[in-house]
Amino acid sequence: MAKFEPDMDKDQTMSGVMNTQEIRESQSYYGIRKAVEEGSVVRLKNGVYASAEALADTMIDIERVVPMGVLCLYSAWSHYGLTTQVPGAFYVAVEKHRKVVVPEFPPITLCYWERKYYELGVVEAEVSGHRVRMYDVEKSVCDAVKFRNKIGLDVTAEVLKAYLARKDRNIARLTAYARQMRVASTLKGYLEIGL
């Protein structure tokens, strides 16, 4: 079996995900094609390939698969330890009306959000050796409140309870986000019960 070991810099080698340009720079098209046929490389989507080892990881390089995507909802809650739910897919927010093609594997659930919500509270974090964009913990909690009817009140309550138990919680930032997202009165009701 051909091993997928391109001659690349340290950051690209760590991710295990390559685009067509990087493949051209590191090895021939036929080498990649042979590796795909043998199973050591998987074609995620047109122009994006990953090694089998990279796919076994618990996190993928979201930026390469969904450029400008932001981890959200279950993926963010799981990262922050706000839920016991195990996400069945990577939840990635993209700006509304944007066309995005996602691969069949790994499973990715796209959330199309208006720009004002999409850009609010984005931070960079390192997860399993990958630099990913995700929403900060307060924005993630406000997302739970905003989408409470879609995710269920039990998940919303779990997220809020776990957030309120954190020592690093920032109620001022949380309420500021809630005002911007138009869920301040709903959040206030939850906080009065939870605090």
Instruction: Give me the pLDDT at residue 44, please.
Output: 61
Peptide bond into 6 cis (omega under 30): no
pLDDT tens track for 45-79: 566 666 555 544 456 677 778 889 999 999 999 99
User: What's the whole-number mean pLDDT along residues 39-43?
Assistant: 61
- The yes-or-no verdict on residue 115 having pLDDT over 60 is yes
Distance between CA 84 and CA 74 in Å, rounded? Answer: 10
**Better pLDDT: 44 or 161:** 161
Q: Which helix (H) or strand (E) segment is 153 a member of?
A: helix 153-164
What is the per-residue burial (b if ≥16 Cβ within 10 Å, else e) of 123-138?
eeeebeebebbbbbbb
Q: What is the pTM of this model?
A: 0.70
Amino acid identity of residue 101, one-letter, is V
Beta bridge partners of 145: none
